[in-house]
A = this chain, B = another copy of it.
Amino acid sequence: MTASTQLLHGVVPPLLTPFNEDYSVDIDTLKRQAERLIKAGVHGLFVLGSSGEVAFLTREQRKEVIATVAEQARGRVPVVAGVIDMTTPRVIEHIEDAVALGVQGLVATAPFYVRTHDVEIAEHFRLLHEAAPETPIYAYNIPVSVHSVLDISTLISLAKEGVLAGVKDSGGNDGYTRALISARDKAGVKNFVVLTGSETTVDFAYLAGADGVVPGLGNVDPVSYVKLHELLVDGAYAEAAELQSKICDLFTIVGVGDGTRMGGSSQGLGSFKAALHHLGVFPSGLMSRPHVALNDEELAKIHEIVDAAQVIEP
């Protein structure tokens, strides 16, 4: 297995995308954050996920983000890129961009906006694989955005065919994660990894045999996630659960923004960016438009929670 086909494992944070005041990508901050995460010991970097505001970035901006982080990583950790778009032909364009920039993996959802079917979803992933046969493709299960759940038996079939290298599971259902891992193991599939996207139940996923985690909150506190990973790999579940519980306290920042005047994306990303601003990592908490900014009262509450968490800088 060559470097480019080594599969993801461990802590792979989905990088937030910092912006300048004119909504261009803040390249310097992005580099600094990539470096900070690598220094914390993360095992990979995932750019252009939902946490990276991929849905808000133009094609040019997406390329900029990949190029920046790939260059900063310099092969120290694998860099995988989200290629999120509505349907196959559009996703393939992003794949071409990402492969040209040398990523070590691709993360793609099922088609969305259109009414689709498992048969079509399977064909979709096959076509993506044809477009990049040398690059591992991870299916992204994220029903809150895509409004369908990836079918486990379809995923296992695609794994057997060599189409998929794994799944990033942000479905919020740990029983599904376990069932997926179990189905993989029973099928005897190798080279197929399962990573949870749930910040608050990493211990559950590892207990069920997950290979890693893609935590948005890992942008804020990567050290704790790396520590959590290590405890879990060592089988220190009780201790891990305790650390997980502390991480969950920090995660409550995502609920601070007032849901009567902003959507879930503004609440969640806003809180992560506010925390990084408060920690001095990001020069601002600016989100792309039309996100709603957190107000002073909300920011104060978030700062309080972040301070209480005593986040360790890498």
- Inside 8 A of A50's CB, which chain B residues have their CB? 113-114
- Inside 8 A of A200's CB, which chain B residues have their CB? 175, 178-179
CA distance A58 to B90 in the complex (A): 6
Q: Is the CB of B175 within 8 A of A290?
A: no
Given contacts A114-B55, A120-B262, contact A207 B241 (CB under 8 A): yes
Chain B nearest CB from A140 CB (Å) reads 11
- Inside 8 A of A173's CB, which chain B residues have their CB? 172-174
Number of A interface residues at 8 Å Cβ cutoff, please give it: 68
Q: Is the CB of B114 within 8 A of A112?
A: no
Query: Considering the complex, which residues of chain A in the window 96-149 have a beta carbon less than 8 Å from any beta carbon of chain B?
Result: 111-117, 119-121, 123-124, 127, 144-147
Is A263 positioned at the interface, with any CB of B under 8 Å from its CB? yes
Q: Choose from B56, B93, B237 the contact partner of A86 (Cβ within 8 Å).
A: B56
Q: Is the CB of A248 within 8 A of B178?
A: yes
Q: Is the CB of B146 within 8 A of A114?
A: no
Map CB proximity to B onto A16-38 as digits: 1 under 8 Å, 0 otherwise: 00000001000000000000000
Q: Is the CB of A90 within 8 A of B262?
A: no
Chain B nearest CB from A136 CB (Å) reads 20
Chain B nearest CB from A199 CB (Å) reads 9
Q: Choose from B115, B174, B238, B261 the contact partner of A144 (Cβ within 8 Å).
A: B115
CA distance A113 to B52 in the complex (A): 13
- Inside 8 A of A111's CB, which chain B residues have their CB? 55, 290
- Inside 8 A of A123's CB, which chain B residues have their CB? 289-290, 292
User: Which 10 A-B pairs have CB atoms at the shortest separation, nearest pair first?
Assistant: A115-B264, A117-B263, A123-B290, A237-B237, A204-B204, A55-B86, A116-B263, A174-B174, A124-B290, A56-B87
Subset of 14 A-B contacts with CB under 8 Å: A55-B86, A56-B87, A115-B263, A120-B263, A120-B292, A123-B292, A124-B289, A127-B290, A172-B175, A179-B248, A203-B204, A208-B241, A237-B237, A260-B260
- Tell me the A residues contacting B by CB distance below 8 Å: 23, 50, 55-59, 61, 84-90, 93, 111-117, 119-121, 123-124, 127, 144-147, 172-175, 178-179, 182, 198, 200-201, 203-204, 207-208, 235, 237-238, 241, 245, 248-249, 259-266, 268, 288-292
